[in-house]
Structure 1
């Protein structure tokens, strides 16, 4: 979505449905020829559970178990309007048991990290993508053959999946946190490389702070990585649930530095560029927040360690929805958080982090626009329109919690 030109972004829901349909049709045409194209042949079929993948190719695929199933009971989330259906749907969830899939002569396709066995099985459980209803809709099937193959000797660990190349939230929870699953399932195991996005400064900083050793292999849309042995940890955050196991691992692995003197009342700005999920009334709200002792912050201007330290020291945080709130991961119990949404795009991923920490006083505030229950969001980058008086009223409720 973030790569779509601004003029096409309103058409996102229609384009997404078309994308899924084209994947189904292309797959029907191209999959039968997979065997003829060798290592660049498309997967001929798929499984919906990694345990089934291991059972179907026992000579090539092994499943290494890690932690147990996590049953999540959360909320209810507090906010306006009360009992919003997105948060209600996220109150009860079950995260499958963690594991690492071990594939001899495995292939990892594209920057979405689709896992393919030597027998041509797409392991859908570790290859999820945004908004799909079936493995047949996976974008791996849009091409007549896989991207060019890059061969690697030895063992590669994959930490890449959808969204991890370009998004701070997905990089932390869908890439880096999975290193903890690898350590849990295969303690002491050494690898010859890690397939993980590392092209941006924040990605390199996080990898260093987390102690994830290289060499690193950059996932790319035009590349299939083939390894003698491919290790793929499970992907427990596919539904934006921020399992406690992931949140706790990140909090321990990337601790605050002990810095003092950081601001305690934060307002996170997304600027005022149109179509960037900005808060429209920010110029009116900000002077009133400043009078209350708030500091305006763009976390992207700070180093990762500085972001960790600032959020660890914060007592009250107000923000339009965005990846910057991923830094709640390092907030302390007792912090108060107000997250603002456009009515056409409500996202539970930051609330679930707050719930995983425990003791966080969280409120949401949804602005104009409507997201029908059970429907895909139509306004992923829509600006947020909420009267200043409504924000201040919600803030007073938050401070009284």
Structure 2
């Protein structure tokens, strides 16, 4: 039987650590440490009326409507160091809280304090930080990490300034594929070790808009996604054994039979290179799949189409609805049945009857 006190004690410990870090450790205010060299804000055009989304997604949608939507680049002049955990900046050995790309309501992670105070750092005149809170998640990689380079280029930062990525991100197949596709051009990529602070006289920290059509078009052009005006085929995004979150279907055999009946191709994005995923989704006229990072590939579709998103109750965000909307795609959703396990990794059963009805309506 689980200890009922474990979670409260864990939360208390985190709050004590957070209090000590913010109240006792040497820090410097972001406004005095950084120069804001680029800033844009925009009014969300989501409208007042809520779209047809599950109730728990609507609740989050309401919150997001009130959050600021901003694109910015901050310059930190040294001596400065970049933390290995998620890219916090230290100036003269003092932490700058708020120096990551964390969006509203996302807590910055505790840094590795000791690596900034002494030791042999790799030193550069200037670097551009591509570090991000959730950088190894495929959705956040395409939505948050890569668009940072668009801002750097928009500001005319010379190609001689290298970019910094984490060791964990560099180990991801999709990052290696991005390099092979020539995404970074002649710009050097610095891989930051898990216990290494990178030192520089100047550190540029960019953060682009969330779910941005301009950034998505730039990514498509940069990564070679084609424009396909035809309706395209239908694909089902399968969460295979290598999926980082184990939200699989217990009635998987029935799911596969359903897709076969309607001529829907079953694909596991993890089995494809980045170039193959781009080509596959740029041609897909109908995408069906459970909520998860594989659906971010919808941004590569620049033609007519639809998304049918499948949710476990209490899990998910409006991101894929927003991407579908930006891409001019139709959007529908259905709930999964009988989730079992912790919410973020719960298995479930596809509602075969409900999904089949939706497929008949969408495919004619």
TM-score of the aligned structures, taking structure 2 as reference length: 0.82
In 2, the alpha carbon distance for the partners of 1:192 and 1:12 equals 47
User: How far off is 1:367 after superposition?
Assistant: 3.1
The answer as to 2:270 corresponding to 1:300 is yes
Task: Please give the residue correspondences for 1:258-277 in structure 2 after superposition, counting only pairs within 5 Å.
Answer: 264-271=233-240, 276-277=246-247
Residue segments in structure 1 that go unaligned for 5+ positions in a row: 1-7, 35-43, 48-52, 371-377
CA distances 1:63-89 after superposition (whole Å, capped 9, x unpaired): 3225x3122223743345697323444
Which segment drifts farther, 335-344 or 73-82?
A: 73-82
Task: Give runs of aligned pairs for residues 82-161 of structure 1, distance below 5 A.
Answer: 84-90=58-64, 94-118=68-92, 120-128=94-102, 132=106, 138-140=109-111, 146=116, 150-161=121-132
Matched residue SS, 1:280: coil
Aligned-partner SS, 2:139: helix
Deviations 1:78-120 (CA, angstroms, capped at 9, x unpaired): 3456973234444565412423424332211023111222372
- Consecutive unaligned residues of structure 2, counting only runs of 5 or more, are none
Report what 2:177 is aligned to. 205
Query: Could you list the runs of 4 or more consecutive aligned residues of structure 1 that deviate by over 6 angstroms after TM superposition?
Result: 11-16, 258-263, 272-275
| Post-superposition offset of 1:123 | 4.5
Match of 1:163 in 2: 134
Q: In terms of mean alpha carbon deviation, does 391-400 or 175-184 score higher?
A: 391-400
Equivalents in 2 of 1:132, 1:81: separation in Å? 22
How far, CA to CA, are the matches of 1:393 and 1:97 in structure 2? 41
Mapped partners of 2:104, 2:307: distance in 1:
27
Residues 1-400 of structure 1: pairs in structure 2 closer than 5 A:
17-18=11-12, 20-27=14-21, 30-31=24-25, 34=26, 44-47=27-30, 53=31, 56-57=32-33, 61-65=34-38, 68-74=40-46, 76-79=50-53, 84-90=58-64, 94-118=68-92, 120-128=94-102, 132=106, 138-140=109-111, 146=116, 150-164=121-135, 166-185=136-155, 187=156, 189-196=158-165, 197-209=169-181, 210-236=183-209, 241-256=210-225, 264-271=233-240, 276-357=246-327, 359-368=328-337, 379-396=343-360, 398=362
Preserved CA contact (<8 Å) 1:112 1:221: no
TM-score, with length taken from structure 1: 0.75
Q: Which residue of 2 aligns with 1:4?
A: none
* Displacement of 1:21: 1.3
* TM-fit CA distance, 1:153: 2.5
Distance 1:303 1:84 in 2: 34
State the secondary structure of the residue aligned to 1:182. Answer: helix
Query: For 1:26, what is the secondary structure of its paired residue?
Result: helix
Cα separation, 1, equivalents of 2:22 and 2:35: 29
Paired with 1:334 and 1:261, the residues of 2 have a C-alpha distance of: 7
**Deviation at residue 288 of structure 1 after TM alignment:** 1.8
1:33-52 residue CA offsets vs partner (Å, 9 max, x unmatched): x4xxxxxxxxx2444xxxxx
Deviation per CA, 1:163-213: give whole Å up to 9, x if none. Answer: 21x22112222211110011112x152334210232233202213432343
RMSD: 3.6
